[in-house]
């Protein structure tokens, strides 16, 4: 058997209209719209053995952070739109587990894409660029002559199980990705959760839901986070008691400056934080329920000393200090970046498409939307005007940048009726509402006014903040 490094087997050449690199959620959502809106043929290539991308290696207890109702591909519902009756998500729309997400994408591939005769799928295959991919098993090289190449790997999603902890760990100590929490068979002296993004929150919630007392958990939080309340992200409005407490009535667009803005966003229930006394500096679209935030607040041993730099035989060293630990404590690595903030590049560039988010934190929606633009708009400049990337947020101030980008795109989309028609019908878009009953003209005209007003104010606040940074 030839080894790839020893020289590839002779190349076969395949032809298709599109080569989609990556059969993760974005590659699948993109291809699905090509299937419904065009007659194009597609070759899909992925290193994994099945579709679903990072969901195939996610921690076993992960669930979608947003309702299944608007996740997956446009042509096929995910889940049954049920309301959860138990657990932290009680009262809200169901959240698919990783297993459900992966099984769903397998069904889409096996029951829709492949039977269409228009999609050929090459799992366990590494795209090496330059129009060829290599089988991870046989080393066989396949050349592809494609009209267009769609890169769905640009977002570069990383989860803890994909790499070792990013700091040295003494041999006697145990530091595992949160995937391995389900393998714990004997109680530990304590649990140290390293990382305070959504993955860290999920690790804490898993421990609490499975019998750990809050006092058994030490939570290393290098940054506090602004968090979204899932009750605000439902296909339809949910009862008041699940919403965040509202302590103020001011409109966010009346904010004097960015500090004032975050006060208003919090008092109006749009953003949450774990500790009301610590001002968050991070915003990454982490999404929780009020029940989850209450549970997370029960953990009092929160260490705010920056990033972990090492776990030695007796202590955890951090950027700004150290804390004692022992070999009987389980250290849980939740530090992977998941979605990094990558520099935006044009989505459409000649025969190359680079999938990115065009609505903040809505990856699958964005991939499907880009496919619709690809299928229905001719000019490259116009396609790029409609698909300005909105890179993933990281810092608190990114709330402004991503909100502005999302509003600006939304305003542009509202002026293109065929996009509006698609958005209103798309199951991946719960936000664009059809015109109100009895109105002859599309209702979005009115929304555009609000959107533009908001966008202007966000822009002012963002510019004001940038000016202050420059002065500092
Ligand atoms: C824990 C967690 C929960 C999340 N929950 C939600 C949620 O509720 N809602 C939401 O909208 N988003 C959520 N996200 C964001 C999520 O990342 C996106 O929804 C989506 O799954 C990203 O898919 P992707 O296709 O961009 O990336 P990936 O899943 O990383 O897929 C990329 C694929 O490309 C393949 N690949 C890469 N390079 C190559 C190559 N050279 N050759 C061949 N194949 C290659 C990889 O094998 C992989 O299968 C969550 C993310 C995490 C980490």
DSSP bridge partners of 287? 228
Using a 6 Å cutoff on CB, does residue 134 contact ligand 1? Answer: no
- Measured CA to CA, the distance from residue 405 to residue 262 in angstroms comes to 18
Give the model's pLDDT for residue 11: 66
Q: Which atom of ligand 1 is nearest to the CA of 199?
A: 1
Fold of 160-333: FAD/NAD(P)-binding domain (3.50.50)
Using a 6 Å cutoff on CB, does residue 64 contact ligand 1? Answer: yes
C-alpha 279: how far from chain center: 23
- Measured CA to CA, the distance from residue 184 to residue 178 in angstroms comes to 11
Residue with tokens 């990382």: 195
Fold of 4-153: FAD/NAD(P)-binding domain (3.50.50)
Distance spanning both ends of the chain, measured CA to CA:
62
Using a 6 Å cutoff on CB, does residue 56 contact ligand 1? Answer: no
Using a 6 Å cutoff on CB, does residue 233 contact ligand 1? Answer: no
Residue with tokens 């006092």: 215
Residues 6+ apart with CB under 8 A from 141: 8, 9, 10, 11, 12, 132, 133, 134, 135
Mean pLDDT by 10 residues, the chain (472 residues): 46 92 98 98 97 94 95 97 94 96 98 98 96 95 97 80 87 94 94 95 96 97 94 75 68 85 90 95 94 96 97 97 97 81 90 96 97 98 97 91 92 92 93 65 52 75 81 78
- Measured CA to CA, the distance from residue 165 to residue 176 in angstroms comes to 8
- Measured CA to CA, the distance from residue 376 to residue 372 in angstroms comes to 6
Assign 3-class secondary structure to the chain: CCCHHHCCCCCEEEEEEEEEECCCHHHHHHHHHHHHHCCCCEEEECCCCCCCHHHHCCCCCCECCCCHHHCCCCCCCCCCCCECCCCCCCCCECCCEHHHHHHHHHHHHHHHHHHHCCEEEECCEEECCCCEEEECCCCCEEEEEEEEEEECCCCCCECHHHCCCCCCECCCCEEEEHHHHHHCCCCCCEEEEECCCHHHHHHHHHHHHCCCCHHHEEEECCCCEEEEEHHHCCCCCCCHHHCCCCCCCCCHHHCCCHHHHHHHHHHCCCEECCCCCCCCCEEEEEEECHHHHHHHHCCCCEECCCCEEEECCCEEEECCEEEECCCCEEEEECCCCECCCCCCCCCEECCEEECCCCCCCCHHHHHHHHHHHHHHCCCHHHHHHHCCCCCCCCECCHHHHHHHHHHHHHHHHHCCHHHHHHHHHCCCCCCCCCCCCCCCCCCHHHHHHHHHHHHHHHHHHHHHHHHHHHHC
Residues 6+ apart with CB under 8 A from 227: 271, 272, 273, 274, 286, 287, 288, 293
Using a 6 Å cutoff on CB, does residue 25 contact ligand 1? Answer: yes
- Measured CA to CA, the distance from residue 191 to residue 374 in angstroms comes to 49
Using a 6 Å cutoff on CB, does residue 126 contact ligand 1? Answer: yes
269 alpha carbon – ligand 1 mean position (Å): 29
Q: Which atom of ligand 1 is nearest to the CA of 159?
A: 53
Residues 6+ apart with CB under 8 A from 404: 455, 458, 459, 462
Residues 6+ apart with CB under 8 A from 93: 67, 68, 69, 81, 82, 83, 84, 234, 235
The CA distances from residue 329 to 203, 282, 316, in Å, are 15, 28, 11
Mutate to test the pocket of ligand 1, among 56, 149, 157, 370 (most ligand atoms within 8 A of CB): 157
Asked whether the beta carbons of 198 and 336 are under 8 A apart, the reply is: no
273 alpha carbon – ligand 1 mean position (Å): 26
Residue with the smallest CA separation from ligand 1 atom 34 is 22
345 alpha carbon – ligand 1 mean position (Å): 18
Report the DSSP pairing between strands 282-288 and 225-229. parallel
Q: Which atom of ligand 1 is nearest to the CA of 336?
A: 53
- Measured CA to CA, the distance from residue 274 to residue 214 in angstroms comes to 14
- Measured CA to CA, the distance from residue 342 to residue 233 in angstroms comes to 25
Give the model's pLDDT for residue 55: 95
Asked whether the beta carbons of 74 and 36 are under 8 A apart, the reply is: yes
62 alpha carbon – ligand 1 mean position (Å): 14
Residue with the smallest CA separation from ligand 1 atom 27 is 24
Question: Among 302, 296, 283, 233, which residue's Cα sits nearest to residue 402?
Answer: 283
């Amino acid at each position: 058997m030839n080894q790839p490094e020893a020289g590839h087997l002779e190349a076969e050449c395949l032809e298709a209209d599109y080569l989609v690199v990556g059969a993760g959620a974005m590659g699948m959502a993109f291809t699905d719209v090509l299937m419904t809106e065009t007659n194009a043929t597609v070759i899909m290539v992925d290193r994994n053995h099945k579709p679903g991308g990072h969901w195939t290696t996610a921690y076993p207890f992960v669930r979608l952070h947003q309702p299944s109702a608007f996740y997956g591909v446009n042509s096929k519902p995910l889940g049954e739109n049920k309301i959860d009756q138990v657990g932290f998500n009680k009262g809200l729309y169901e959240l698919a587990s990783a297993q459900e997400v992966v099984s769903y994408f397998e069904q889409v591939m096996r029951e829709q894409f492949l039977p269409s005769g228009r999609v050929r799928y090459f799992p366990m295959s590494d795209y090496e660029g330059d129009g060829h991919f290599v089988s991870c098993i046989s080393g066989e090289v396949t050349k592809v002559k494609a009209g267009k190449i769609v890169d769905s790997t640009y977002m570069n999603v990383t989860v803890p199980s994909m790499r070792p902890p990013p700091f040295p760990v003494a041999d006697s100590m145990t530091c595992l990705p949160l995937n391995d929490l389900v393998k714990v068979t004997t109680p530990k002296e304590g649990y140290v959760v390293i990382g305070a993004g959504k993955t860290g929150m999920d690790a804490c919630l898993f421990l609490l839901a499975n019998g750990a007392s809050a006092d058994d958990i030490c939570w290393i939080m290098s940054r506090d986070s602004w968090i979204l309340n899932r009750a605000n992200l439902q296909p339809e409005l949910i009862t008041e008691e699940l919403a965040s407490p509202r302590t103020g009535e001011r409109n966010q667009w009346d904010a004097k400056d960015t500090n004032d803005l975050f006060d208003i966003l919090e008092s109006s229930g749009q953003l949450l934080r774990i500790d009301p006394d610590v001002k968050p500096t991070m915003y990454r679209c982490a999404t929780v329920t009020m029940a989850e935030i209450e549970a997370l607040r029960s953990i009092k041993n929160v260490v705010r000393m920056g990033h972990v730099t090492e776990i030695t035989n007796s202590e955890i060293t951090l950027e700004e200090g150290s804390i004692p630990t022992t070999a009987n404590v389980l250290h849980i690595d939740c530090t992977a970046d998941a979605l990094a903030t990558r520099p935006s590049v044009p989505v459409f560039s000649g025969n190359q498409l680079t999938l990115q988010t065009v609505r903040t934190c809505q990856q699958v929606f964005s991939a499907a939307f880009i496919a619709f633009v690809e299928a229905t708009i001719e000019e490259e400049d116009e396609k790029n005007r409609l698909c300005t990337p909105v890179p993933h947020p990281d810092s608190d101030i990114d709330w402004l940048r991503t909100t502005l980008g999302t509003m600006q795109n939304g305003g542009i989309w509202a002026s293109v009726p065929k996009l509006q028609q698609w958005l209103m019908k798309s199951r991946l878009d719960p936000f664009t509402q059809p015109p109100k009953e009895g109105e002859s003209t599309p209702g979005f005209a009115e929304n555009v006014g609000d959107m533009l007003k908001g966008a202007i104010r966000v822009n002012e606040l963002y510019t004001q903040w940038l000016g202050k940074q420059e002065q500092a």
